[in-house]
Structure 1
Amino acid sequence: MTDKAKADQFKAEGNTAFTAGNFEKAVELFSSAIACDGTNHVLFSNRSGAYAGMKDYKKALEDADKCIAIKPDWAKGYSRRGAAHFFLGNLEEAEQAYKAGLEIEPANASLKQGLQDVAAAIASAGSMPLSDAFKQIFAPQNLQQLLVHPTTRKYMQEPDFQLIMADVVKNPSSMSKYLQDPRFSAVLNVLLSSAGAAEEEEANAGHGHAHDGSEGHGHSHDGSEGHGHSHGPAKPSTSASASKPAAAAAPAPAASEPVTEEQKVNAQAEKEKELGTAAYKKRDFATAAKHYTAAYELVPTNIVYLNNRAAVHFESGAYDLCLEDCAKAVEVGRENRADFKLIAKALSRAGSAAQKQGKLTEALNFFNKSLSEHRNPEVNEKKQLLEKEIELKKKTDYIDVAKSAEARERGNALFKSSDFINAIGEYSEAIKRNPSDAKLYSNRAACYTKILELPLAAKDADECIRLDPTFIKGYQRKATVQIARKDFAAAMETYDKISKLEDPTAKQIAEEGMAQCRQAIMRNHNSNENASEEEIAQRAMADPELREIMADPVMRQILEQMTGDPVAAAAHMKNPEVARKIQKLISAGIIKVR
C-alpha cells in the first residue's frame, strides 16, 4: 500500500471517528494520515476541526494556518482560521480570516455567517475585552429575553440547562465547554443577534435588522467518508421548515427591496429539491439524485439536500453512497448548526444502511448517536430490535456441533467422577455450542438434581421435553424432580405420559415409576400419621402450590362435598386437574385416607 493510500485510509477512519464525536481518536487518525501525506491540505483542515471539537483552539489555529500555507486559494482553510480566532477571543483576526476567505469564494454562506457573528460580537463588545463583552451579553437584562423567546424559553425551564447558564453567567470563559450543546448554541445566537441588532438600530435610527445566526462556528471535517444505515422506506424531507437552507435565514425582502444574489441561489436550490422529491415519489431515483445534487451544489450548507440524496441512495440499494452522504450531512449539519433532528435523521439512516450491509455493531452505534441527538421512538425501536438481532447472531455464530460434542464428553467424565459443578459448566458450554440438542439439557438436569438445585433441574427437563417430546429420559428427569419435591401426583402424571410413548421400554419404565410413586406416597402417609396436625400444617404452608390449593374457594367447596357424598367424590375425581390436586393434598397428609 502506498503512503497516499494509507493516508486515505487513516483519513476515512478519522472521518468516522469525527462523525461519532470521538474527537481525540479523530486527531490521532488524522495525525497518522498527515505522517503519510504531509502535503494534503484537507488533512490539516480535518484535524483543525477535530482540535476545535476538543476545545483546543490554539492547535486548531495552528492546523488552519498550515492548511492555508499549503493551499492559500482554498476558502475552507480561512473558515477554520476564523473559527479558531473567534473562540480564542481574537475578533479582529477572525474578521480578517473570514474576509480573506470571502475574497476567494464570495458566495460561501459559512464564511458570510462567520463574519456576521464576529460583527455582532464586536458590536456588542465595543472596545472592551472579549471576556467583558460576554459578561455584558450574559447580563441579567439580556437574559430576560431568553425566557420569552420562542426558541429558548423551553430550554430555560430545563434544570440541567439552568445550571449551564448559571455557570456561564458566573464565569463567561466557561462557555467553551458548552458550545457543542445545541441548546447553548441557540441561546448564544439569540443573544448575539439581539446585541448586533441593537447596535445597528441605534446607528441607523431604527432601520437595522439582526442576522439569524443559524450557521457559524460549528466544527466539521472535510471529505468525510462515514458509515451508516436505516430500516423501512427512507423518505426525503419535504417540509417547508426543514427545506430552508441554513444560510438563508434572513427575513423575506419587502417589495421595495432588491432580491439578493444569495436569495436567488436559494430559490433555485429549492426548485431543484422540489423536482428531486417529485422524481423520488415516482421512484425515478437517478433523476431524483441528479436534482438533489444540483440543489446541494447551489447551497452546500443545507443538510436537507444531503439527507434527501441519502434517502435516494438507500432506496436504490446504493448503501455505500448512502453512508457517504449521511456522514457528509452530519458534517454539514454540525458546522452550520442545523436542527438536531436533521442530524439525528442522517445518523439513523446511516444506521439502517449499515444494517442492510450486515455491519450490525456499526449500525447500533449510529442508532445510539441518532438517539443522543433526538429521542425518536421509531429509532429507539429499531435500536432495540437490532440489539436482539446482534445477540441472536452472537449465539448463532457460536454454534459448533463438533465442539459441543467435545464439551459433552468432558461433562460426562466429570459427572462420573461426581464433580457435578464443573460438569454443569461443560454441559452449559455444550448447550451454547448446540442449543437444539435435547440430551444436553437432560444431562445438565441430572447434575442440578444431584446438587439439589431442583428448580433449575425442572427447567432443563422441561426444555429437554420441548425439544424432543419422544425422549424418555427427559420425562424421567422431570419425574425425579417432582418426587424429590414430594409432588407425587405430578410425578405419576409424568410417568403416565411416558407409558404413552412408542419406545418399547416406555411401559416398563412407567410401571416402575408409578410403583415408586405409590411407595413414596405410603411412606409419606405413614409419616403423616405420626405427625401432629400442627406439623402437617407447617409443611403444607411451606409449599406454594398447597397454599394456593387451600386458598381456592372452588377446591374448598369440592372438598366439603366429597366429605359427605361419595358419589360427588367419584364425580370430581374424574376431572384430571381436581384429581391431581386431591392427590397432592393426600400426599401432604392434609387429607387422610382410611
Structure 2
Amino acid sequence: MAGMHTLFGEETWAKLQDDPAVSALMAQPDMKAKLDDLRRDPKTLATHIADPRMMQIFSALARQSGAGGPSVAASFDAAAARAAPSTSSDAPPAAGDAARPPPPPEEEEDPAAAAKRKSDEAKATGNAAYKARKYDEALAAYTTAVELNADNLAALINRAAVKLDQGDYAAAEADCRAAIEANKERHLRADFKLIARAHGRIGTSRLRAGDLPGAITAFESSLVEFNDPKINEQLLTTRRALKKQEEEAYISPELSAAAREEGNTAFRVKDFPAAIKCYSEAIKRNPTDPVAYSNRAAAYTKLGEFPMAMKDCEACLAIDGKYMKAWSRKGAIHFFMKEYHKCLDVYQQGLAIDPTSKEMRDGLMKTQRAVAERQNEGGVDESTAKAAMQDPEIQSILSDPLINNMLQQMESDPTYAAKAMQDPVIGAKINKLIAAGVLRTG
C-alpha cells in the first residue's frame, strides 16, 4: 500500500492541516489518532474507512490532487480495493467488528416466575371486579389466578369471599379449607393474618348456614392465628345467639309446671336446696313464669340468701308487677335485713296496687312496730346506721342543706322536730331517716 504513504507524506499532511474544510477534523484527537494509525499502517484502512470523517479527508486530498498534486483518486481507489475486506463467507471479521462485543441475548423469563406474575395480575383483576360487585368476573379472575399458581392462597381465599356473597357457603368453606391445608402440607408459611382470614370466612359460612357451633369453632381458630377485633365481636355475638337458641329450644311450659311442682314438694319438706334446683329448672323451661321466680325467692329466703331472693322478687315483678306474693316476699326480705325504710316503701307500693291485701297491711304494721321499738331502745345502732348510710337514697337526704339545717336545730331544740314534721316533704324524709335507723327522736 505504497499509495497510502504518498497520500500522507509530509507535504500532503501539512496541506491538510491548512485546509479550512478539514483542519477542524484534523484537530479532533480521535481522528488524529486514526490518521496516524493509517500513516503507520495503510492496512488499517478497512478499520477506519467506515468513519464519514475519513471520507471528508480523502475528498480534501482529491481537491488538492486536482490542483496539481498526485492523483489522490487513483491512489485512494487502489488502496481501498486492496484494503477492502473479502466478501467470501469464510473471510475473517474486520478488526473493528472483532473488537465490538455482540449484543447480549435477551433473557427469557423463568416459567414459574411468569406464572406467578400472571397469577398476581389475575388476582388484582379479581379484586377490582369484587369491589365493583361484579361477582362473576371476580370469580373467573380468581380461578385463573389459582390455576396459574396453586400457591396463591390469597386468590383462593378471596374466591371464597365471592362465593360467600353468592350464597354458596359450602364452596366458600371448601376454598378456605383448601388454602389452610395447602399452607400446612406444602409449608408455604403464609402470613398468619391470611390464614386467620380463611378461618374467619369459614366461620361466616357456618354462621350464614345456621350452624352456630361450627361458626364459633371457626372464629376461635381464627383468633388463635390473629386477634382481630372484628372476629372477636363476631364470636361474642354468635355465642350469645347460640345461648338464646338453646334456651328457646329448651322451653316447655308443660315441663316447667312439672318442675315447679317438684320444687313445691321439696319446699314443703324443707329441702330448700332441692327446691331451688327444681325452681331453676322450671325457670329455664319457661322464663316468663312469674310463679317460679317468686317460689325460688322464698326458698332462698329460708336459706338466708337475701340478695339472691331479692333478685328473684324483682325478676318476678318485672314479668307481673301485680303479683302480690312477690311484693310480700320482697318486703319480708328487707325486714329480715332490718332495712325498715325500704320495707315500708315496698308495703306501701303493694297496698297502692291492692289496698285489700292482708299481707301488705300486716307487713306494714309489723314494720312500723319494729321502727317504734328501735326508737324506744334509745341511741342509734352504729352497725345499722353504717349500713343505711350506703343507701343512695339516705345519702341524698343527708346531703340536702335544708335537712342538715333542720337536724342541727333539732339538736338544740327537740320540739322543733314536731314543727318540721308538719311539712309533708320534710316529714317523709325525716321518717325515712328514722326508719333507716340513722335518726332517733324523743
Scaled by the length of structure 2, the TM-score of the pair is 0.68
- Cα distance, 1:369–1:568 mapped onto 2, change above 3 Å: farther
How much does 1:284 deviate? Answer: 2.6
How much does 1:588 deviate? Answer: 5.3
Indicate the SS of the match to 1:545: coil
- Give the alignment partner of residue 271 of structure 1, picking from 91, 97, 121: 121
- Give the alignment partner of residue 574 of structure 1, picking from 417, 422, 425: 425
Which residue matches 2:196? Answer: 344
- Give the alignment partner of residue 587 of structure 1, picking from 424, 429, 435: 435
AA in 2 matched with 1:383: L
How much does 1:351 deviate? Answer: 0.9
AA in 1 matched with 2:332: T
Which residue matches 1:438? Answer: 290
How much does 1:462 deviate? Answer: 1.0
Which residue matches 2:271? Answer: 419
Contact 1:540 1:546 in 2 (8 A): no
- Give the alignment partner of residue 341 of structure 2, picking from 482, 489, 499: 489
- Give the alignment partner of residue 475 of structure 1, picking from 302, 327, 334: 327
Distance 1:354 1:371 in 2: 16
> Identity, % of aligned pairs?
34
How much does 1:304 deviate? Answer: 1.0
Q: How does 1:191-206 map to 2 (within 5 A)?
A: none
Q: How does 1:107-126 map to 2 (within 5 A)?
A: none
Contact 2:341 2:436 in 1 (8 A): no
Q: State the Cα deviation string for residues 173-218 of structure 1 (Å, max 9, x = none).
A: xxxxxxxxxxxxxxxxxxxxxxxxxxxxxxxxxxxxxxxxxxxxxx
How much does 1:413 deviate? Answer: 1.2
Q: How does 1:296-445 map to 2 (within 5 A)?
A: 296-334=146-184, 335=186, 336-445=188-297
Pair 1:513 & 2:358 matched: no
AA in 2 matched with 1:295: A
- Cα distance, 1:499–1:284 mapped onto 2, change above 3 Å: same
Backbone CA RMSD of aligned residues: 2.9
How much does 1:552 deviate? Answer: 7.6
How much does 1:348 deviate? Answer: 0.8
Contact 1:420 1:450 in 2 (8 A): yes
Contact 1:404 1:429 in 2 (8 A): yes
Q: State the Cα deviation string for residues 368-408 of structure 1 (Å, max 9, x = none).
A: 21112122222122222222222333322222221111110
How much does 1:285 deviate? Answer: 1.8
Scaled by the length of structure 1, the TM-score of the pair is 0.51
Q: State the Cα deviation string for residues 319-365 of structure 1 (Å, max 9, x = none).
A: 00001001001122332221111111111111111111122222122
How much does 1:541 deviate? Answer: 3.0
Contact 1:408 1:427 in 2 (8 A): yes
Distance 1:491 1:255 in 2: 100
How much does 1:542 deviate? Answer: 5.1
Indicate the SS of the match to 1:592: coil
- Cα distance, 1:567–1:326 mapped onto 2, change above 3 Å: same
How much does 1:315 deviate? Answer: 0.8
- Cα distance, 1:282–1:539 mapped onto 2, change above 3 Å: closer
Which residue matches 1:282? Answer: 132
Q: State the Cα deviation string for residues 415-468 of structure 1 (Å, max 9, x = none).
A: 122222211111111111111211111101111122222111111111111111
Which residue matches 2:381? Answer: 536
Indicate the SS of the match to 1:574: helix
Distance 1:589 1:282 in 2: 72
Distance 1:320 1:493 in 2: 60
- Cα distance, 1:433–1:348 mapped onto 2, change above 3 Å: same
Distance 2:306 2:437 in 1: 22
| Structure with the larger RCO, 1 or 2 (CA within 8 Å, 6+ apart) | 1
How much does 1:478 deviate? Answer: 0.7
Indicate the SS of the match to 1:418: coil
AA in 2 matched with 1:309: R
Which residue matches 1:168? Answer: none
Structure 1: tracts of 5 or more residues without a match: 1-253
- Cα distance, 1:444–1:378 mapped onto 2, change above 3 Å: same
How much does 1:272 deviate? Answer: 2.4
How much does 1:539 deviate? Answer: 3.9
Contact 2:126 2:141 in 1 (8 A): yes
Distance 2:146 2:114 in 1: 14
Q: State the Cα deviation string for residues 240-264 of structure 1 (Å, max 9, x = none).
A: xxxxxxxxxxxxxx99643222233
- Cα distance, 1:488–1:287 mapped onto 2, change above 3 Å: same
- Higher gyration radius (CA): 2
Indicate the SS of the match to 2:321: coil
Residue range with higher mean Cα deviation, 551-560 or 399-408: 551-560
- Cα distance, 1:421–1:469 mapped onto 2, change above 3 Å: same
- Cα distance, 1:567–1:519 mapped onto 2, change above 3 Å: closer
Contact 2:388 2:436 in 1 (8 A): no
AA in 2 matched with 1:574: V
Distance 1:571 1:255 in 2: 113
Q: State the Cα deviation string for residues 82-121 of structure 1 (Å, max 9, x = none).
A: xxxxxxxxxxxxxxxxxxxxxxxxxxxxxxxxxxxxxxxx
Which residue matches 2:399? Answer: 554
Distance 1:402 1:364 in 2: 32
